[in-house]
Amino acid sequence: MGPVNMRLVEQARSVFAELGYTVEGNGPEFRAERAWKVVHVNPVLDTRKLPSGSSGEYHCFVAHPDDADDLEARLSRTDPDYEWAIIAVDGEDYQVERAPPGPRQRVSA
């Protein structure tokens, strides 16, 4: 893994730690846990290669701002069977580009 890749991993870890998550794992992909929620975090440099995930899990993809739109389009097309979000990091700044939808509400007839 080159220095650019490690920088993105470090930024991803920093974002989740700042948000109050406990970060677990030593590799580029890691788990972030807070209360009842476990998020599988994947820094992404190549939007053509997406990690597979299990249904019912939460995944957050961390990318550079220039890659966030392509990543969102690819995820939307593949429609994985898990909740996903994208965080774009640029230096010390980050922005949530796409968050998972909120809980589904029942509609009474």
pLDDT digits (tens, 9 = 90+) for 68-106: 999 988 888 888 888 899 999 988 889 888 776 654 434
Q: Which of the two residues, 52 and 33, has the higher pLDDT score?
A: 33
Q: Would you say residue 109 has pLDDT above 50?
A: no
- 12 in Cβ contact with 68 (< 8 Å): no
Predicted confidence (pLDDT) at residue 46 exceeds the cutoff of 80: no
Distance CA 50, CA 71 (A): 9
* Per-residue DSSP letter, 57: -
Q: What is the pTM of this model?
A: 0.80
Q: What are the tens digits of pLDDT across the range 8-28?
A: 889 999 999 999 999 998 888
Quick one: pLDDT band at residue 65, thresholds 50, 70, 90? very high
48: confidence class by pLDDT, cuts 50, 70, 90: confident
Q: What percent of the residues of the chain are helix, what percent strand, and what percent coil, each to the nearest 5?
A: 30, 30, 40
What ranges do the domains of the chain cover? 3-98
Domain 3-98: assigned CATH number: 3.40.1350
By C-alpha distance, which of 63, 62, 45, 61 is closest to 53? Answer: 61
3-state secondary structure of 33: strand
Buried b (16+ CB within 10 A) or exposed e, 57-85: ebbbbbbbeebbeebbebbeeeebeebbb
